[in-house]
Structure 1
Amino acid sequence: MSLPPLADLPNSLQPFAARAEQALHAALADLPAAAERLAAWPQARHEAFVRVCAASDFVSEQASRAAETFLELADSGELERALQSGELRAQLVAALADCDDEAELGRRLRRYRNRQQLRIIWRDISRQADLRETCWDLSELADACVDQAYQWLYLRHCQQFGTPIGRRSGQPQQLVILGMGKLGAHELNLSSDIDLIFGYPEGGETEGVKRALDNQEFFTRLGQRLIKALDALTADGFVFRVDMRLRPYGSAGALVLSFNALEQYYQDQGRDWERYAMIKARVVGGDQQAGAHLLEMLRPFVYRRYLDFSAIEALRAMKQLIQQEVRRKGMADNIKLGSGGIREVEFIAQAFQLIHGGRDLSLQQRPLLKVLNTLEGQGYLPPAVIAELRDGYEFLRYTEHALQAIGDRQTQMLPDNDSDCARVACIMGFDNWPAFHAQLMYWRGRVDWHFRQVIADPDEDEHAAGTPCIGGEWLPLWEEALDEEAASRQLADAGFAEPEVAWRRLSDLRSGPQVRAIQRLGRERLDAFVPRLLAQAVEHDKPDLVLERVLPLVEAVARRSAYLVLLTENPGALQRLITLCAASPWIAEQITRFPLLLDELLNEGRLFKPPLAPELAAELRERLTRIPEDDLEQQMEALRHFKLAHRLRVAASEIAGTLPLMKVSDYLTWLAEAILDQVLALAWRQSVAKYGTPKRGDGSLCDPDFIIVGYGKVGGLELGHGSDLDLVFIHDGDPQAETDGAKPIDGAQFFTRLGQRIIHLLTTQTTSGQLYEVDMRLRPSGASGLLVSSLGAFERYQQSEAWTWEHQALIRARVLVGSAGVGAAFERVRAAVLAQPRDLPKLRGEVGEMRAKMRDNLGSPSTGAGTAAHAFEASAPFDLKQDAGGIVDIEFMVQYATLAWSQQHPQLLRWTDNIRILDELEAVGLLPGADARLLQEVYKAYRAAAHRLALQKQPGVVGGDQFHAERRAVMRIWHELGLS
């Protein structure tokens, strides 16, 4: 946000400015040429001096106490320009260059800090720097002071006590200084202390002196000297107040710990508030490389791989403690800790970071404003909410700076005297205090409202109304305060058709091994959740079915109770879980197997509106770019989670009726294509890194000259929820030419290993399952053929060796991902093969013979694959796919027609899906319009039925009394085409 310009200087502040000018002139009286230098100031600087000194006692005092330094600063032009990256640190390095005394180190650090503090406050008050620049400069100043003081002290400490050496590595050791909180996020305010944690890589002792010191003792003494250099109050003031209470065990803990000790502490004893603090940890001094390793070691403590809604409980508890302290100390006017203050905006952002950051790496950021942008971009919060949080936060931070600029004092309390009220209002661009205060209270109100939406207890409204918490009437039943008869009666009265069965299911869960093994916190969460589940289950028209399908999930996650917290904290998500599980046992099983899918239930708009193909591809690409290229495990997990999440969205949309059958298949096919695109990219990158890049026949490098061709359902855009992928791999490189890597192999080997890599990425079972089952049997020569064919070999095989059924399969083949050039060449080969002139009687015989074999082997044996007289009776099964008049009959008719007539009508080869090929057959007059439309509608009806059965975890078989007219019509057209 942009603040209004600095308000006109009110009469009450003019004496402050006058005194500042008088003090400066008095201080300059004995300095040669000072008056001339001052007179040479531009008018704008004179005006800024009056305004800044009227607002800030600190600037006024510094200008008169160190008048020569102030003039030099003004003459340098730094009051009117932003410093370049690294400039501030370079100035401090120069200032300390010839320093050889520890007391002198302290003096120079403090004088440099005062110089920069004056510059920063000047630019902040005079509106020459925005909030980001002010916070960045303050943080850079702290970084430079901490690191340069450390570097200076470390050399002299080593001279005195020896160089610390790692016992395991044998290498010299350096301290790692972590900046926490606002320093870590580059968000320091004008008078902030700095929160630090000290660590060192490994134990050992010093070398180079007669009496060695243990590394722990060495770094403890060094840390004490560093704190003194920064924190001690002298005649020159201080550099930064240093707070070490965020270290393990707080003030009672060791000042410095080894990396192993730090990792062990956070793993075994780290508390929720320490996770909150560690979000912003950054290496601000010492060994940067070792520090990066330390932060990577601690990352699992901060960001959990699962959705961690327990973070909200922790933040809620922290907020309650803060509120108690605010009330106890009468700090309602504290703009940081009070209601609607800065801390509430931070809590909102960090709640999402702690909950989702383990899985969404884009949230693993330190600066709050960047986190807010990510929350908007990733759809966690609406743009209007983010806009208010951003503007409110910036207004509060500007106000904080105004309060602190007055006397360089660490305060967030609103002033209690008229002159300071006038100063704050003036700095903030308001004519008077009431106008400023009204705007401040508006923003505090908006921040507090948004905070309550995110952090508030779901039971809060009920408690406020004096009513029991959600599900309270079911608590006695769950806690066995009722006997079985009373419990069954309550269940029956609530609408359970089989109350005894429901009671037994609850009893089995309560006494089951998973629940008995959970710890106290997990049991408390379970006890809070089950009554809520029962309260919502009885709102459903089939509560028995709800328990049957949801309780297995509850049992599966009982020991990972953060998932129960997710559902407890989000009643809407629980309602959607109940609805989807009751509608589909397949969905219930998926969520039970992969509880991370519960995340998808949080956003109703996103759940029932899966993205289109370009958005799918972009989302997956973005997810993978956040993962280090060498982290294969994370890449595979990200791919699998992406597939599971989007497949659930499609199923949910299908159940909700927001996605018709044809769109369901489209989305599932787009999902497979997006995944294959990234799998190919990963496999290519890994293969090239290992072997080098393969070559083309002309010696140039392939890029990548490789395609993945989809057959069957994926080729025909007809994927279902559990479909495997029929794939063929084709390359157009030189099989004989070697790759250009350090471990060269010939092109044929390279592409074979690339194909194996792709299959490995797709089929390997991880904790999130496999991506897809892959069937490669449609490649040339089937299972006995090469895994990857050259384009030339593929063409020769299709022209001279392929069976008719393989040409039928080729009709549904299309390029899914890979090289555009090779893809276009494949399409030319496909068209040439399929458009060959054919002996139609022979073709009819081969197609009919193949269909008869399939019916014999795969159709319903009890009805002769749907051809027996009793096949239309209610008790007879009808296999939607394989029986006579079913899906495969329609597919074979389309394939026959394409092979028979595509030479004369090449437009039949334009598409790979049956619906559009039928459109073309009608358009060119090869099939009567009524018959073409009938086959399309029957085909869609069969597939819709198969989809519904799949979601119910049932085979694609219905009773023989269904689809009578449809089956007979399909069989009629089959006979009319002469395929019997």
Structure 2
Amino acid sequence: MSLNRKLISYGFTDLEKSRRFLDAPELEGLDDDDLFAGLAVAANPDMALQSFVRLTAVDRTAVAAAFADAGRRGLLFRLLGASEALGEFLMRHPEHLDVVRSRPATPPVVAPEDVRAELLRSVDADPAAANPVAGVVGVDAYCRLRVAYRRLLTDLAVRDLGHCIPVDYLPVVGRELADLATAALEASLAVARAELGEVYGPDVVARVRLAVIAMGKCGARELNYISDVDVVYVVEGEDLEDATLTRIGTGLASGMSRGVYSSGPEPALWEVDANLRPEGKDGQLVRTLQSHVAYYERWARTWEFQALLKARAAAGDADLGRRYEEAIAPLIWASSQREGFVEGVRAMRRRVTDNIARDEEARQLKLGPGGLRDVEFTVQLLQLVHGRLDGSLRVRDTVSAIAALSAAGYVGRSDAMDLDDAYRYLRVLEHRIQLMQMRRTHLMPEDETSLRALARSSEGCMVTVRPSAQSLHAKWQSTRRLVRRLHESIFYRPLLNNAATLRPEDVQLTAEAAQARLAALGYQDPRGAMRHIEALTGGLRRRALLQRQLLPILLGWFADGVDPDAGLLGFRRLSESLGESHWYLGMLRDSNAAAERLCTVLSSSRFITDLLEVSPESTQWLGADAELVPDTFEAQWHEIQSKMSRHPEPEDAIRLIRLIRRRELLRIAIADSSNLLTQAEVGEALSDADRAAVLGALHVAEKEVFAGAEQLTDVVVMAMGRQGGREITYGSDADVIYVHRPRPGADEAAAQKQAETIVARLVALLTQPCKPAVLAERVLEIDAALRPEGKQGPMVRSIGSYREYYRRWSLVWEAQALLRARPLAGDDGLAAEFLELIDPVRYPRELAETDVREIRRIKARVEAERLPRGADPSRHLKLGRGALSDVEWLVQLLQLQHAHAVPALRVQSTLAALDVIEAEGLVPAEDVAILRGSWTLATRIRGANVIWSGRGSDLLPSSRRDLEAVARWCGYGPDSGSHLEEDYLRMTRRSRSIFERHFYGY
């Protein structure tokens, strides 16, 4: 293999320059295979080769010793190929090449006290002293400190770059970097004490206690390789004037900064940034503890408490630092109760994003969308909101905080794992970019060579295939998208606003105080409510932890409903049914809509609560509006056909059909409760569910009857009444008539008998018990009382029998009943033939006056005879004055009179017919509006009766509680039961007056 091809295979890019370095005299005597074995593990082999040659030129003996050891050789080339800056440090100080040494399988962890002691000794300070004073000052002290610091930094970089899985080692690296930085501050402060002692006298300086509070990543012990070190200074002195205390304290702080950042023979380490102090750049550099506390109590802004989350006493006087932490901690954890706190944190994150230079946004690892700031802001907001009441969240570093949030249930396990993985990966990229030149940067490189080197240095020693620049870019972009998704779903979680406003007493009460609080919220049985709460929150399992977070908020939402006791009981039963289902409580935690919807339905609907209890998995719908869109008839019928094909036994098939109908009833009811459906859409969706169930039952019945026998006839089920108008409510019966048509050559008597058998079996299938049983669920009752001759007539007739009956004996009430006839199930051709037969009957050319009088007579008789004994006519929703019956009879009379001449009136829906009546001027528009309002409100109340109690009722409730519940379902606000009652009575009075004027003519 030629040398050029070999260099290319090892990842070199500048072949000409690398060939010159390979010919350098410094490499004479070194084994080529060993050299290329070392270069093979370097992230940037060009840079590693050049640095190796230059280092060899400085101290060939030390380099040769490292090169001869295979373990040291690989680590040396990893270091030189990843950090030009640390390579140059070794060239300046080759005596420290010994830090590149063979490592055990598990790299050691350096203790913070050992790092502190080594750096203090570098400036001849006593590590055992409470406030050490350096024995050397000036430039010499700075140089010695910086060299000692970089030696330890190089040692850490070698361990980091040699680790097989860098993301696993990241927390150790962050901690050691922070410990190294705080040790450097301590040593530099020791130098500053010595220097000020020469000015003010050692005794005076010793009386000034200065605590250095590390903030940001240094405070959290998750520091970068190169970063500003954010600090706040606290000063205290004995028997010193304020001016003297401030002057010496400021001198100590300024001197400490010079020790690590001023120019000198050994380059500066990093900048010490005190801009997070009270009042920022405009504030005093040093303050007393009392001054700090006073500022944070009165003047601090939201972002300052977020910054204090990571505050840690790092250097200087340990006792003063501890007292600072203790004084500030309560203020930090109470900050989330400040007005607008959550939104303030969110606004701060948006401002950070908005201030990124547009040409840098796509390259930002830290500040850009999907970057480190998204993770940090998300985690910190959750800590501040929930940490006020949950001490387990009071940790400083991000990795530990993610773990704590997951363990306590504030973040789902999978989301926490993704967040942790993404954060570690982005931090490793950040570290590797900074290591190159030891410069503070958070921008991804753009050139392919740098990207390829970054890919190799960030993947660890376990990678056998060299990653490419393209694979790195793809993984980075994927991580950004993941972080952004998690940030938006967690950071903007609506429940955070509610959790931020909870008071400690809301969640930490004695049993007696808790019962009093529950009673004040409106719970009728506080003792029973406490039993439910204890059952839900007892124990240490994850479900109990999550429910302890949610219940303080949910209890208030249950109390906003009509029956909070029922809501809490329903929640307990539902939670027990779902057991450890990972999605359930996580959905309530993450979705404000889902949590509020669940509280609303559990505390306001026996009907939905009972259905949810036997179908708890349906709770998943609460979190997404799309899941609450009712299935179309076509979709239901397709599903029913699939079920019947897999379950041919009639009992199995009909059970599955009825479970599909039950599921759709539940979906419609929840959508209705969430104001996602209009009243008309509710009626249509319920009718579709009934239609699919009847069609499925008819197929099962026909298959059973035709098994082993000849099919003699075709059957069709025609919907009548409100079912025909697709205007039913929950629990409505299905008014139908049955039609059959004997097949050619079939015996008519046998065909009639077969049709009757099919119909009987259809009814039996639809009304048999369904398991699991639901108290609030009503079976689909089939009512054929509107057939010719009513209950006295045959249950099913042939099409020929209908033709003869309507030609010879049909009465006007039967024509009226046919106005809402619509095919429901069965043979389409027969249905069309029947519609063609009845159209002349229900849309006559003219309606005789005798027929009008007959309709009026029947209506009066219905009012007199069918209204339940003792029922108040003003409160009966169906037969009462101005209620459903009045509006429908008036509409149907107008249809009988005008539909022949006005084809638009040939509709089954009452509301659709009213629209045409108004458009044609058959009734004044203002009268139609009242009729429409009365009919709509009565229908809504009728459905609300079922939703609230699980039982059907045709009466406007009289009890205050029931009236309040029904009012809520009718769109009224809290405490509006009397308003609903007044509106209904007023509207039906006006509706009755209009009905009498247009129906009876007076």
TM-score, normalised relative to structure 1: 0.46
Larger Rg: 2
